[in-house]
Structure 1
């Protein structure tokens, strides 16, 4: 059971999927790219302004307060596209027409077919979307009257004697430099356990977590938490999951088919990122790349066809080294063989 806990810590904790369900080459390359390009430190965001603060500040550079161009709490139901433009219809009866559009739905939404595309997305694209993996990564937050755990330990790993990945990790938030005095701790579950938790009631999950904590601290009396909350990413209609993962058998060519545009409808988001899938900066780099491409078209630097992204209606099997290039989304000079 200790080996299983270590296995979860070494892979699932980042990928939200098991090693058996994940592509090794791209899984390792993606992890190395993130921690190699930026920093080997994994920071926990505790900014009381919220994680979206930086996004709001970026938006202020081109959006006014209550700008009518930004439609919040608006559900897209249909997207019609052709060589002349894109028309988007919303649940409230709205209609938006544009020369170009960038689709940034999560992979989970695209897999659920909750948005009607006219015409339907071509097979080469839809099959790639369906094969890529959408994970569920759930944090369960609890607040107690007092801290019965070791506040100096940032990570507290639990090895369940029966089930791999059952409430395997707890992280206190009242350690030095965090939310001192808060008596808050949170658990993390992924994969099948996350799906199960997100379909239980809060009361069922709370009872299970308290039972695990009691087994971890047998000399303490673990009472019910005074506050208890967790998200349900896999059931949210605007997400249907937390973030993507590179599955076994997914080639670079097939992933490029997720990225590729169809006429004047373009795609971006973390699942489109070859190197940073599953990370916020993956969504950022893909959005920037596609925005620049469309900008060059609008500015007359080239026609639509000249800036069309690479696509593979016929796949060629195993990914070869010369395919790691800009056209296939390999935007940074990272060598998967470890030479750089």
Structure 2
């Protein structure tokens, strides 16, 4: 979505299975020859890991092993059955998305396509446009007058647009970053004490970043937004494919691992416990499965674990410890929590307007069950009776730590407040994940805090010897987006393929900064620091168009 600390105190017993500690404190296998050998160990089988492996394969490097903690591939793209057609027990279930749900941005004239959109088209993934304007807003008095909503939306959008222009000025002039909250306050947008303003801001900011404007970078939130919604397109396609969103990852994996994904290079249900990076000529990855240990000896490893896992002190042990510049970058970056709560009501007793996609709830407590999305809409799962609520940040953490029944009762109270004239039935089915405590995720996706500079971000990307990193959290432009995981997996796959194929320039190590600057010089916004330079032209175009309109 937790700080990364590594324990070491004298001689520590790591595991009893064929492992002992040397005086240097790193694990060594009793029989080094028993380690399975490969060129590249890809750690994690989500979008970044499968893309990295496929990129290696496409460039002639087929000697790799993919290690995955779960019994499935896909990572935080997680599709599960929910409810039943017709609302009848035993009926065919629907498929809902616990994690990634949208294709954010499609394609724009004269610019590259969003690769996730390309994969969706390649594999015939069913989706439909989410229309965020197709919404009704409710407060404690019931439905809010549409003119009031339009006026407040316009007021916020004007302030938000100005904060984006300010962020561009920061970028072009090397000015210090600040919180998005400070940027909005400078534009005279202050929602405190106004439930309608609070939910308007939540709908535009928290809903996207999984955290509040107070803890989000004005500069990087603008970069991420413009890199997706201006560089690709403003379209957001909600995936409603009965095969699940994870289909695009499965189908890509099949191209390198076979139709049944039964290739011996894919190790499911193997948890990575230790990484030994002490030898300049190799890297050893230690795994366990149901209490049985094993190891992989590789020339390189690509770690695609979520930022949330990297922040956990005991999730993976690194030998030697990660350098200070890497640990500080991991600790500085934030992990947000975005929790969807699914409810199926009797399909013949739907109490909301099925022609409306979003039902928005304005509460005095910001983010308290603020939005309900209608899957019974004609474009998604008509006749399903499915509604899902979304909470993020602190509210998501609260909900994930309480019992289902308590959450269900709170939701029913909110719905009764929103629809006081309706007799609201009990849901037939009810489910939500616990992303913040799931031990292979520890959160939903990353977010950049105020003051984190480009050099600090690059330290999150940079390799440590033979250990390389990839994931949405390492993407400068697309952190928090699935295309960020794709691009980073592709880039690291290309770089390691080049190294293994003897191309020292294409396989050059990534730059890191032992003492990163506290501001970002304009000259640093380049490919060497992981920036997709074409997106900067989009920012410049945005500035020129806004200036012309002014």
Q: Give the TM-score normalised by structure 1.
A: 0.97
Pairing of 1:206-225 with structure 2 (within 5 A): 206-225=408-427
The answer to which of 238-247 and 56-65 deviates more is 56-65
Deviation at 1:337, TM superposition (A): 8.7
1:158-307 aligned at under 5 Å gives the runs 158-160=361-363, 162-302=364-504, 307=508
What's the CA shift for 1:303?
Answer: 7.6
Matched, 1:138 2:335: no
What is aligned with 1:157? Answer: 360
Out of 290, 296, 303, which is 1:103 matched to?
303
Contact preservation (8 Å) 2:472, 2:488: yes
TM-score, with length taken from structure 2? 0.60
Q: Cα deviations across residues 70-121 of structure 1 (Å, max 9, x unaligned)? A: 1112211111114212111112302111101100010000001210011111
Partners of 1:73 and 1:51 in 2: CA distance: 21
| 1:318-329 paired onto structure 2 within 5 Å | 318-329=519-530
Compute the displacement of 1:332 (Å): 3.5
Q: 2:468 aligns to what SS in structure 1?
A: strand
Give the 3 Å change call, closer, same or farther, for CA 336–7 of structure 1 in structure 2.
farther
| Residue 78 (structure 1) aligned with residue 280 (structure 2) | no
TM superposition shift of 1:37: 2.4
User: Structure 1 runs of 4+ off > 6 angstroms?
Assistant: none
- Which residue of the other structure, out of 492, 511, 521, is the alignment partner of 1:310? 511
The Cα RMSD (Å) is: 1.4
CA offsets per residue over residues 209-239 of structure 1, 9 Å max, x none? 0110110000001122010001111010000
Deviations 1:3-27 (A, max 9, x none): 1011111100000000010001110
Aligned residues: 338
Q: Residue in 1 aligned with 2:539?
A: 338
Structure 2 equivalent of residue 3 of structure 1: 197
Structure 2 residues without counterparts, runs of 5 or longer: 1-194, 542-550
Q: State the Cα distance separating 1:174 from its structure 2 match.
A: 0.6
Partner of 1:121: 322
Deviations 1:164-185 (A, max 9, x none): 1100000110111210000000
CA–CA separation in structure 1 for the residues paired with 2:228 and 2:276: 36
| Structure 1 alignment gaps of length 5 or more | none
Aligned match of 2:85? none
Q: Contact between 1:210 and 1:223, CA under 8 Å: does it hold in 2?
A: no
CA distance in 2, matches of 1:338, 1:264: 35
CA distance in 2, matches of 1:105, 1:87: 17
